[in-house]
Amino acid sequence: MIESTVTTARHKPTPKRSKKEPPIPAIVKIVGEPSLSSKDEGWYYFWAEHQNSKRKDWSILCTEEQIDWVVEQMQDNVQLIEGTHFADKRMRTEDGYVTRSVLAEEFQTDEPAEEEQPMTWQEVPVVAQTPQNPVIDKASELFNNFLVTRKRFENSASIQGFDDLIFRSVVSASISCERTR
């Protein structure tokens, strides 16, 4: 067999094709309050500024119920994430279908709870509480005895010479007598 000295042509090796990486979700900051959309009837739009790319700002659609939530997030400088807070959605228009970024339905302010009328002092129920600590029980008993005794000797306070010192002595003596019973 005769061998040829000519080398056979070889093709250049083709570089391996890498699979396309999924795009990084956009992170945006709300820069404008929602306004009524003239292009999309029944929708409101707000402007958002990209935080993780140099792409142009874009508008995101929301419903009337979501306006308060959007304003609150804007005031708190909350960043919205594509795919979590908003996503592209195909919408029907007069000219056919268009793709719009739409805020997810679950992001809206909860309905405010019915306001309760503030309580007035007349509405506060008085509940007698019985102390359960023996020290508190004794102190309460002594204080109640003091009040009862004071009420008993209140008329004596107008007697000439019946001063506060005498009053306290009488009260103490009265309480001591009641304890020994």
Render pLDDT for 72-94 as a digit per residue (tens, 0 to 9).
Answer: 999 998 888 888 888 888 887 77
pLDDT digits (tens, 9 = 90+) for 4-18: 666 666 666 666 666
Give yes or no: residues 44 and 95 share one domain: yes
> Taking Cα atoms as reference points, which of 137, 155, 149, 136 lies closest to residue 176?
149
Identify the domain boundary among 83, 103, 123: 103
> Taking Cα atoms as reference points, which of 70, 61, 64 lies closest to residue 93?
61
pLDDT of residue 95: 77
Give yes or no: residues 135 and 99 share one domain: no
User: Is residue 18 one of the residues assigned to a domain?
Assistant: no
Better-scored residue on pLDDT, 136 or 45: 45
User: Is residue 135 one of the residues assigned to a domain?
Assistant: yes
User: Is residue 136 one of the residues assigned to a domain?
Assistant: yes
User: Is residue 80 one of the residues assigned to a domain?
Assistant: yes
Give yes or no: residues 99 and 135 share one domain: no
Residue % of the chain over a pLDDT of 90: 12
pLDDT of residue 71: 92
Q: Which domain holds residue 155?
A: 131-180
User: Any idea what DSSP says for residue 129?
Assistant: -
Give yes or no: residues 82 and 143 share one domain: no
Residue % of the chain over a pLDDT of 70: 63
The total domain count for the chain is 2
Length reported for the chain = 181
In angstroms, the Cα distances linking 70 to 32, 33, 55, 73, 111 are 9, 7, 21, 5, 15
Give yes or no: residues 47 and 88 share one domain: yes
Give yes or no: residues 32 and 94 share one domain: yes
User: Is residue 163 one of the residues assigned to a domain?
Assistant: yes
pLDDT digits (tens, 9 = 90+) for 110-141: 765 566 666 555 565 666 666 567 777 777 77
pLDDT interval class at 70 (50, 70, 90): very high
Better-scored residue on pLDDT, 101 or 117: 101
Rounded mean pLDDT, 37-60 = 85
